[in-house]
């Protein structure tokens, strides 16, 4: 079996995507998702300050009041289906 290079950027990105998928599937609230994603980025990111900024922007809005553009909604639906295939 081939060894996985944990320093490889592709591996790190895939690992983060898998972790986010796990967080989304196991969290019971938006607050729990935000906290878990924040902690994951802080631990795994080579630049936690960038992740912190992005998450601060996300926290600035109530998710129930955001109107998502159609193309983003379609992209998120595609991503959800794509991530669901691995389970």
Instruction: Tell me: pLDDT of 35 over 80.
Output: yes
Q: Are 60 and 47 in contact (CB under 8 A)?
A: no
Give the pTM.
0.41
The length of the chain is 87
pLDDT of 49-61, one tens digit each?
Answer: 777 777 777 777 7
**Inter-helix orientation angle 9-26/30-44, to 10°:** 160
Task: Please tell me which of 8-17, 29-38, 42-51 the model is most confident about, judged by mean pLDDT.
Answer: 29-38
How far separated are the first and last CA of the chain, in Å rounded? Answer: 22
Q: Are 41 and 51 in contact (CB under 8 A)?
A: yes
């Amino acid at each position: 079996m081939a060894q996985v290079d944990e320093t490889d950027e592709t591996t790190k990105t895939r690992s983060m995507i898998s972790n986010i998928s796990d967080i989304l599937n196991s969290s019971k609230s938006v607050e729990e998702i935000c906290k878990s994603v924040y902690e994951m980025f802080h631990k795994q990111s080579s630049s936690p300050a960038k992740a912190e900024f992005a998450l601060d922007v996300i926290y600035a809005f109530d998710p129930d009041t955001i109107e998502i553009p159609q193309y983003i909604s379609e992209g998120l639906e595609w991503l959800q289906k794509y991530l669901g295939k691995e389970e």
